[in-house]
Chains A and B, each alone.
Chain A
Amino acid sequence: MAYVSTKPTPPRKPPLNESTPLGWLKVNMFDTLFSSVLSILVLIAIFFSLKSMLTWGFIDGVWIAETRRECFQISIDGACWAGIIAWMDSIFYGLYPRDEIWRINLGGILLVIWMVPLWLPRVQGKVFVGFSAVALYPFLAGYLFSGGDKGIFVQVMIAGAIVCLVALTINAALGYFKNANLPNVIIDRLGKNDAPEKQKRNILLGVLAACLVAVFIWQLSWVEKSISWTRWGGLFLTFVIAGIGIASALPGGILLALGRRSKLKAVSFLSMGFIEVFRSVPLITVLFMATTMFPLFMPEGFVLNKLAQVIIAVCLFNACYMAETVRAGLQAIPKGQFEGAHTIGLGYWGTMGLIIMPQALKHMIPNIVGSFIGLLKDTTLVSIIGLFDLLNILRTISRDKPWLGLHQETLVFGALLFFVLCFAMSKYSRHLEVKLSTGHK
């Protein structure tokens, strides 16, 4: 069938203008009839749910009251936030003695000071900052939180941590303001700029040793009251478990992943078995195993408290998940990188540490942070075996006599807290991914 048009086709309508608000609405929400109907229905649903939530939480919410009964007298339908406010200290610090809370706060502030150099531009030695935060900070914080007598090893580590913290802070300040680093400044002040490298190193080691000895002698007189782990709780305990888990999962995961990819058959087989066993069972069974079977496994007279058992279980469990994340990242590295590293004469650890891992870790940032978020969320499970973490404290409120049955408010508060923490972490990882991307995969 032949067809010849005799008149010109009418011009098409101009495309919708998306730059004006009305045009944007038309394109993105009301382009077809079906879409418009859906949009309107959703808008109505959003309006009513937001309205009821705001009424419940804010307009009818009660902020000041002594008991839940009083809340009801003020407003029968509103949220009773007074209960949360009354328990606020416990939500954050658990049963920690109220006049010792400064120790937890100080520990938190010290960690922030320790980590800040990682985010400052022009600061040198960032790898050491991260490494020392994992290796030394736990001893300082551990003593700060639990107090009591310290063994000689802990004393040395505390002295090391304090020296390290001060040195890192000075180094960071020097780097940020003067674009210099601490070792060079010390050498400069001592007027040994022209001395050979070996002598410079010896001078630095001498200064370090002198500082260590001084701090060690000072800390002998530093004694804090002992506080049992049973009084730890709330958000503080959640952070302790998650923090130790995060700090140990990455190194543990890297080791296990390398083990699984190893050419040594026995090593790879054992790593694989270990990883698969822990990944195929739920965390709660591992926690139960830790609390019921650890006492059987340990030699006589060796007693590990419940918190330590739980932390060990969480660390093992998450190291196995991290191992699979790391393995996926390692598989994405092209073979040429391994061969290139061998060609320039690097051994196994040199290849892995200098060439492969830095690239693999960069690829894996979203997944690693995803695992960290999972770990933070999973810490709520320790409430099932009776530790007073954030969730368990929140559930305790609803069993407290004045606030009997206060379920919704406490859970909404806990959910909001976790949402803010996890959402911030995932947004930050997105930001980091963009910042570190080199443009080629």
Chain B
Amino acid sequence: MATGDSGSEAARVKPQEKFNFFQDERVRSIFFQILTVSVVVWLVWFLASNTAQNLEKRGLSFGFEFLGVAAPFDPDFKLISFTPGVDTYSRIFWIGVLNTLYVSFLAIIGMSFLGFSLGIMRLSNNWLISRVALAYIEIARNVPLLIQIIFWYSVVYAILPRLKQSLDLSGGAELAFLNIRGLYVPWPVPGDLLWMTLVALVVSVIATYLYRRWAQKRQDETGESFPMFLPSVGILLGLPAIVFLTTGSPLAWDVPALQGFNFVGGASLPRAFIALLMALIFYHSAYLAEAVRAGVLSVNKGQTEAALAIGLRPGKVLSLVTIPQAMPAIVPPMISLWMNVVKNSSLATAIGYADLVAVYMQTSLNTAGHAIEIVGMTMGFYMITSLTISWLLNIYNKRVQLVER
């Protein structure tokens, strides 16, 4: 390694470095890496051998055969059908996954809207509005999510009417009901010709896209600006509506009706679901509001002033100058908040909503055993979701990096 180099500059004699085995950087680097790896390998081997011994001693086995065994219990809430005693644990797993994704999806939509509104409110010139938003944010962020979930759950319990006095949300039309057990809403039943409306919808989406592109191009060339919002809405809603009506409204509604001791028909959302959804939206929107505020504030004030100086109206300043520049600062924290929504939806287990953790990691683990496989599968689901989301985030980051500020 370090031998003296007697090259052209003979006058400069490099000091002869002695090769010291213990001081050499490369040797030490390799030594420490081998040390770390061997410690980790030993640890894994130690845990694995202990586990194998313990399993053997308790007469347990490792394997995924239990997934094919019929599960004896029935989840409270499911998006796909389930027959206890016939359907298997693997179906239970998928019911849990779907329930988790379902509540997370709705919560993500809700918290994105609420969070953006709160962030804008927080930036309002009106002192009162901004303070109200601040109070909301501080309360939602400083109270544990679990307390909020249980609060929604039991306060809803205290306020809502009993079954016989169900609240009619449609104002006497007997379409949607709210009572202590949950929310009951009509559910669409598609008719034969509904596919034509769906085709019309797709066509109108494409048409809107083309119209906007054409208008944009036209504006770039001539400077004339075309109305965007109203024609888009017109095309998007008008075309499917016309097709829908001309084909004879091929959509029936399954309306919930009180029969005996429960509502029959329609779609029902249990109380635990509503409480979880509300708490997730309430809690995470406060974090998003702060991210939105920070993002908007990160845009240089000169940008807004310049936009106003060239004569843009305040609304256009926001939509054409401020928001596009604030988005790269808002989107990464927003996406990691989405991930938090998915992870935090696991707190459903405290109030008995049948999400993945409650229905698979708790109930199935108690009835089927196989702790290692079940915990591994549950964690695997969250890891895959998380990896997918961070992959999407990376794609976004690469795209916005091209328009460097």
Segment at the interface with B among A28-36, A194-202, A208-216, A354-362 = A28-36
Inter-chain contact B145/A377, CB cutoff 8 Å: yes
Chain B residue numbers with a CB within 8 Å of A414 are 147
Complexed CA–CA distance, A39 and B145 (Å):
30
How many A-B contacts if CB must be within 8 Å?
Answer: 152
B40 in contact with A419 (CB, 8 Å): no
Q: 11 A-B pairs, CB-CB below 8 angstroms?
A: A42-B128, A280-B387, A285-B357, A298-B50, A377-B142, A378-B144, A384-B349, A414-B147, A415-B143, A419-B139, A422-B143
Q: Check B347–A284 contact: CB distance below 8 A.
A: yes
Binds B, one of A122-130, A140-148, A227-235, A259-267: A259-267
- For B55, the chain A residues whose CB sits under 8 A away are 296
Residues of B within 8 A of A297 (CB): 47, 50-51
Q: Check if A418 sits within 8 Å of B142, measured CB to CB.
A: yes
Q: Are A280 and B357 in contact (CB under 8 A)?
A: no
With the chains together, A28 CA to B346 CA distance in Å? 43
Q: Is the CB of A422 within 8 A of B375?
A: no
Give me the interface of B with A, judged by CB distance under 8 Å. Answer: 29, 32-34, 36-37, 40, 47, 50-51, 53-55, 57, 125-129, 132, 138-139, 141-148, 150-151, 154-155, 157-158, 343-344, 346-347, 349-350, 357, 361-362, 365, 371-372, 375, 378-379, 382-383, 385-387
**Which residues on B sit within 8 Å (CB–CB) of A31?**
125-126
Segment 367-411 of A: residues with Cβ below 8 Å from B: 373, 377-378, 380-381, 383-384, 391, 395, 398, 407-408, 411
Contact among A288, A300, A423 for B357, CB-based, below 8 A: A288
What residues on B are CB-neighbors of A265 within 8 Å? 33
**Interface SS of chain B:** helix
Query: Contact at A391–B50, with CB atoms within 8 Å?
Result: no
Q: In the assembled complex, which residues on chain B have CB atoms less than 8 Å from the CB atom of A381?
A: 146, 347
Q: Chain A residues near B139: list those with CB within 8 A.
A: 419
Known: A282-B343, A296-B55. A384 touches B350 (CB 8 A): yes
Judging by beta carbons under 8 Å apart, are A270 and B142 in contact? Answer: no
> How far is B344's CA from A397's CA once the two chains are assembled, in angstroms?
26
Q: Is A170 part of the binding interface, using a Cβ–Cβ cutoff of 8 Å?
A: no
Contact surface of A with B, Cβ cutoff 8 Å: 28-29, 31, 35, 38-39, 42-43, 46, 263-267, 270, 277, 279-282, 284-285, 288-289, 292-293, 295-300, 373, 377-378, 380-381, 383-384, 391, 395, 398, 407-408, 411-412, 414-415, 418-419, 422-423, 426
Closest to A398 in B: B154
- Could you tell me the distance between the alpha carbons of A38 and B132 in the complex, rounded to whole angstroms? 12
* A contact residues around B138 at 8 Å (CB): 423
* Nearest CB of A to B240, in Å: 34
Q: Does A285 contact B378, Cβ atoms closer than 8 Å?
A: yes
Q: How far is the CB of A84 from chain B (nearest CB, A)?
A: 15
Q: B132 to A284, Cβ gap below 8 A?
A: no
- The 3 A-B pairs at the shortest CB distance, nearest first, are namely A280-B386, A407-B154, A28-B127
- In the docked arrangement, what's the CA distance between A266 and B55, Å? 31
CA A381 to CA B231, docked complex, whole Å: 51
Q: Which of B32, B53, B382 makes the CB contact (< 8 A) with A282? A: B382
Q: How far is the CA of A284 from the CA of B51 in the complex (A)?
A: 22
Please state if B142 and A293 are interface contacts (CB–CB under 8 Å).
Answer: no
**Other contacts beyond A42-B129, A263-B29, A267-B36: 19, CB < 8 A:** A35-B126, A39-B128, A270-B37, A277-B383, A282-B343, A282-B382, A285-B379, A285-B382, A288-B365, A297-B51, A300-B53, A380-B146, A383-B350, A384-B347, A407-B154, A408-B155, A418-B147, A419-B139, A419-B143
Are B126 and A426 touching (Cβ within 8 A)? Answer: no
Q: Which residue from A39, A270, A285, A300 sits with its C-beta under 8 Å from B361?
A: A285
